[in-house]
Homo-oligomer: A and B are copies of this chain.
Amino acid sequence: MAEKREDARQPQTLGEFLLHVRTTKRLTLRQVEEATNREVSNAYLSQLEHGRIAKPSPNILYSLASVYAVPYERLMEKAGYIIETSKRDVGEKHGRVATFANENLTTEEEEDLLKYLAFLRSSGGSKP
């Protein structure tokens, strides 16, 4: 079946994403291995980037997320792990994150806000 393509798709696979981030930051496989404190071996990272690992451990993804400075949840999603977050993926909204970055949300608050957000979007939808 369809395994992988290296074209620039919208929903990148985990491997494509990891490769893209690493090369963008001009890091070598071994540099990443060091940066993760040897938690992720260079050989294993190579396998990840080539889509040869279906279900990597979240700990691995967490290490990579830290080193790459990308959101942990992003990697979890791309790894195919279900996330409690709603999967709204509409393309034309702006990332208004800055405000919430200063808010220090608790887990409860986060869940409540997400629910409320889902409610907002289900009722007062202003865009297709």
Contact = CB atoms under 8 A, between A and B. Distances in A.
Sorted nearest first, the 4 A-B pairs with minimum C-beta distance are: A96-B105, A71-B98, A93-B104, A85-B107
A57 interface: yes
Given A58-B76, A112-B120, A106 B81 contact: no
A102 B95 contact: yes
A32 to B, nearest CB: 18
A90 B106 CA distance: 9
A96 B88 contact: no
A95 B107 CA distance: 9
Contacts of A112: 116, 120
B82 A62 contact: yes
Interface string A47-80: 0000000010111001000000001111011001
A75 to B, nearest CB: 10
Nearest to A58: B81
A48 to B, nearest CB: 16
Nearest to A98: B71
Contacts of A8: none
Contacts of A57: 55
B114 A85 contact: no
